[in-house]
């Protein structure tokens, strides 16, 4: 009997050691709050009730922390709507802090969340290097890190977003089709991108540059960064249009910002002559195309990205994988939005999670887009 007790005690101690070894950092493999581990996979023939219980233990009660760039645009509002909605549905705790487009504040917010040790951290990066080391630190502390739409130099557990390289290539090809050889244009184009340090800007140019290089007739007369600001895009575009009145196209790679460039084209009386290309599919895309100030945009299904982020969060918490031990990328389907389809119900989103439709007056002239 003494020997049995001694063996039993040793087995308990060994089990505790194994359990501790499976945890790399705070709840690294999604250990449940009641002490039952989520580090091992369930058996294929476990009952539905067992799977349901495991989901509630591994996901319910966990904390997801969300760091946008700055609230107040449909893009950030839509992601927030879906992250919060799914967190509530999963029984998770939702936290968000808004750095309001301030790089220093974003660093401080990410650091503060790391100190609080949420189970999942979702970040929309201002630039590729700003919080890269912090995201690595979060993984090392056992926090699952998901990045959305703009990557950092550190590749964390998952990235969900538009394929900026692919979209950059598509836009460049479309610009060549409208302004390149064989067209009766000046072949002059201007680029008004976001931020030189952002993952989106860098990757979109990576996709576009080879296309333009293969078409030397295309003359890039300006490439000036508007830092994602509509007013700055307006001012930059106004100056470019004065200097190059025969411009064929402006490419500004986010619809919220590009609307400033489009208004500058309209103010210069060049509406229809200078084509404005952009990306995203918020209500401003449908409004701009409907008004005739946007030529086209590429949407990358922002509502679906919000849902995918939370699906991945739930998967990681149940996966048994330590934070930082795997890398996943999910690119959203891309759709070209132009005059042929801009008013299809649900083509654009408005930041509230609802499907929007575009309305016209009785004459079919006035465009009304829910905002």
Per-residue pLDDT reduced to its tens digit, 259-283: 999 999 999 999 999 999 999 999 9
Confidence at residue 39, expressed as pLDDT on a 0 to 100 scale: 79
| Fold observed for domain 55-161+302-331 | Rossmann fold (3.40.50)
CA 368, 273, 231: angle at the middle one, nearest 5?
Answer: 60
Q: Give the integer Cα–Cα distance in Å for 331 and 333.
A: 7
Angle between helices 302-319 and 74-90 (to 10 degrees): 40
Q: Where are the alpha helices (DSSP H) in 180-324?
A: 199-213, 230-243, 255-267, 283-291, 302-319
Q: How confident is the model at residue 361 (pLDDT cuts 50, 70, 90)?
A: low
pLDDT tier, 174 (very low <50, low <70, confident <90, very high otherwise): very high
How many other C-beta atoms can be found within 10 angstroms of the C-beta atom of residue 362? 6
Whether the domain at 55-161+302-331 and the domain at 164-299+340-368 fall into the same CATH topology:
yes
Compare 115 and 355 and report the one with higher pLDDT.
115
Radius of gyration of the chain (CA): 24
CA atoms within 13 A on the CB side of 334: 19
Locate 223 and state its tokens.
Answer: 């490439």
CA pair distance 356, 371, nearest whole angstrom:
9
Average pLDDT over residues 206-233: 98
**Any residues with CB less than 8 A from the CB of 370 and at least 6 apart, and which?**
283, 350, 354, 356, 357
How many whole angstroms separate alpha carbon 5 and alpha carbon 14? Answer: 14
Two structure tokens written together for 257:
């910002």
Backbone angles phi, psi at 19, to 5 degrees: -60, -40
User: What residue segments make up the domains of the chain, in order of their start?
Assistant: 55-161+302-331, 164-299+340-368
Quote the tokens at residue 40. Answer: 């091992």
HSE value, Cβ hemisphere, 13 Å, CA-based, for 226: 30
- Looking at the chain, the number of H-run helices and the number of E-run strands are 11, 14
The answer to whether 164 and 151 have CB atoms below 8 angstroms apart is no
Please report which confidence band the pLDDT of residue 163 belongs to, taking 50, 70 and 90 as the band edges: very high
**Does the pLDDT at position 16 exceed 50?**
no
Distance, CA of 260 to CA of 249 (rounded, Å): 14
Mean pLDDT computed over 82-106: 97
Above 50 in pLDDT, residue 199? yes
Task: Return phi, psi of residue 324, to 5°.
Answer: 80, 5
Q: How far apart are CA 280 and CA 297, in angstroms?
A: 7
d(CA 191, CA 114): 37
pLDDT average, residue stretch 21-43: 51
pTM for this model (two decimals): 0.87
Three-state SS for 359? strand
* Mean pLDDT of the region 184-190: 98
Class at the top of the CATH hierarchy for domain 164-299+340-368: alpha beta
Token pair for 282: 């918020």
- Express each pLDDT in 314-331 by its tens digit: 999 999 899 999 999 999
């Amino acid at each position: 009997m003494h020997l049995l007790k001694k063996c039993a005690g040793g087995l308990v101690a060994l089990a505790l050691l194994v359990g501790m070894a499976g945890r790399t950092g705070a709840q690294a493999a999604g250990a449940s709050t009641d002490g039952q581990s989520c580090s091992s996979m369930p058996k294929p023939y476990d009952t539905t009730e067992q799977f349901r219980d495991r989901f509630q233990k591994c996901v319910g009660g966990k904390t997801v922390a969300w760091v946008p760039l700055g609230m107040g645009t449909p893009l950030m509002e839509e992601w927030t709507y879906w992250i919060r909605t799914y967190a509530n549905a999963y029984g998770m705790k939702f936290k968000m802090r808004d750095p309001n487009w301030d790089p220093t504040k974003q660093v401080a917010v990410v650091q503060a969340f790391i100190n609080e040790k949420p189970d999942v951290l979702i970040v929309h990066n201002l630039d590729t290097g700003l919080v890269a080391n912090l995201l690595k630190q979060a993984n090392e502390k056992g926090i699952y890190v998901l990045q959305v739409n703009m990557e950092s130099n550190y590749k964390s557990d998952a990235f969900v977003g538009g394929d900026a390289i692919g979209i950059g290539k598509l836009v460049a090809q479309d610009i060549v089709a409208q302004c390149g050889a064989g067209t009766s244009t000046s072949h002059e184009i201007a680029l008004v991108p976001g931020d030189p340090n952002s993952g989106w800007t860098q990757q979109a140019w990576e996709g576009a540059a080879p296309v333009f290089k293969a078409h030397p007739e295309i003359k890039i007369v300006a490439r000036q960064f508007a830092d994602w600001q509509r007013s700055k895009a307006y001012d930059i575009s106004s100056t470019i249009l004065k200097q190059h009145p025969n411009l064929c196209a402006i490419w500004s790679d986010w619809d919220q910002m590009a609307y400033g460039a489009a208004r500058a084209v309209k103010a210069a009386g060049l509406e229809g002559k200078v084509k404005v290309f952009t990306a995203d599919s918020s209500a401003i895309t449908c409004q701009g195309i409907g008004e005739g100030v946007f030529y086209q945009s590429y949407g990358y299904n922002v509502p679906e990205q919000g849902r995918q982020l939370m699906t991945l969060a739930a998967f990681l918490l149940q996966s048994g994988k330590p934070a930082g031990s795997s890398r996943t990328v999910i690119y959203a389907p891309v759709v070209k939005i132009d005059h042929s389809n801009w008013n299809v119900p649900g083509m654009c989103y408005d930041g509230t999670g609802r499907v929007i439709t575009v309305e016209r007056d009785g004459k079919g002239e006035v465009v009304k887009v829910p905002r």
